């Protein structure tokens, strides 16, 4: 299994600039624009529908911005499927082992803690299960892995492996709780961040080992699918 990310599995300079610019737009402007436009509709979209539109826009943008990066990643995956399979299997095993440990720690430190992001996804699933499954299994993994592993992690990895893991893990955790910060106490914010660290760690690790972004995409999609189906 490979130990380092090759140049082929990295966004090029144009994709990197475009990716960071779009990430800023996605975080700072797109949610507000969609909310404003939705309010003007005669029949506003429900939360599940609006969330699906948000991620569909991001998905299409990612396909456009990172087209060469995704193409080279697909070629690497098909050229060395054993690397991909090993990384996905080991990554999933490591994720669930780490997740079990962090969930145990969260229950120990704060019994009854509720993750608002998980609750919001569950509520949207009750509104429109099909859209939520498509969004969280197909759209979200592709979008988030290109940004948080392909863009942030990879740009730091050549400078410092430790910094790459730390920054990308924290960024990935914070993006999942950003919309709920006002509802959490400081200790609850820490617990919420802790819950997302195993995913950030294992997804980044699988990227380095498989040498293709499709390893973390596959793990991310599998975890989301298992989580959604387990809520039935």
Q: Two tokens at 52?
A: 């699906």
Q: Which of 199, 191, 33, 48 is nearest to 116 (CA)?
A: 191
User: How far is it, in rounded angstroms, from Cα 132 to Cα 47?
Assistant: 10
- pLDDT the model gives residue 230: 82
Percent of the chain with pLDDT over 90: 90
Q: Two tokens at 101?
A: 């440990």
Query: For 95-112, what is each residue's pLDDT tens digit?
Result: 999 999 999 999 999 999
- pLDDT the model gives residue 9: 76
Whether the pLDDT of residue 1 is over 60: the answer is no
Which whole number is the average pLDDT over 180-202?
94
Q: Give the pLDDT band of residue 182 (cuts 50, 70, 90).
A: confident
Q: Give the pLDDT band of residue 205 (cuts 50, 70, 90).
A: very high
- pLDDT the model gives residue 142: 98
- pLDDT the model gives residue 209: 94
Q: Which of 117, 116, 165 is nearest to 140 (CA)?
A: 117
Hunting for tokens 């994720």 — which residue is that? 95
- pLDDT the model gives residue 6: 63
Single pTM value for the model: 0.94
DSSP secondary structure code for residue 43 in this structure: S
Which whole number is the average pLDDT over 202-222?
97
User: How far is it, in rounded angstroms, from Cα 29 to Cα 26?
Assistant: 6
Q: Which of 174, 131, 143, 146 is nearest to 57 (CA)?
A: 143
Q: Two tokens at 79?
A: 């050229």
- Please report, for the chain, the start and end positions of each structural domain, with discontinuous segments joined by +: 7-230
| 3-class SS of residue 148 | helix
Q: How far is CA 172 from the centre of its chain?
A: 7
**Range of weakest confidence among 7-11, 12-16, 55-59:** 7-11
Query: For 41-84, what is each residue's pLDDT tens digit?
Result: 999 999 999 999 999 999 999 999 999 999 999 999 999 999 99
């Amino acid at each position: 299994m490979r130990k380092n990310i090759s140049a082929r599995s990295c966004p090029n300079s144009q994709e990197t600039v475009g990716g960071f610019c779009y990430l800023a737009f996605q975080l700072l402007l797109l949610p507000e624009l969609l909310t404003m436009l939705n309010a003007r509709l005669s029949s506003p979209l429900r939360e599940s529908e609006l969330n699906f539109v948000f991620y569909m826009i991001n998905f299409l943008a990612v396909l456009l911005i990172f087209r060469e990066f995704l193409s080279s990643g697909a070629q690497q995956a098909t050229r060395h499927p054993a690397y991909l399979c090993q990384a996905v299997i080991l990554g999933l095993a490591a994720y669930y082992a780490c997740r079990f440990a962090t969930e145990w720690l969260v229950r120990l430190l704060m019994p009854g803690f509720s993750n608002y992001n998980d609750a919001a996804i569950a509520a949207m699933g009750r509104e429109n299960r099909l859209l939520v499954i498509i969004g969280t299994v197909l759209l979200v993994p592709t979008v988030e892995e290109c940004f948080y592993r392909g863009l942030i992690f990879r740009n730091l990895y050549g400078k410092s492996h430790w910094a790459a893991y730390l920054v990308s893990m924290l960024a990935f955790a914070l993006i999942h709780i950003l919309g709920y910060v006002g509802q959490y106490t400081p200790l609850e914010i820490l617990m919420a961040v802790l819950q997302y660290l195993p995913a950030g760690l294992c997804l980044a690790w699988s990227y380095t080992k498989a040498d293709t972004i499709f390893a973390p995409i596959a793990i991310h999609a599998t975890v989301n699918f298992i989580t959604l189906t387990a809520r039935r």
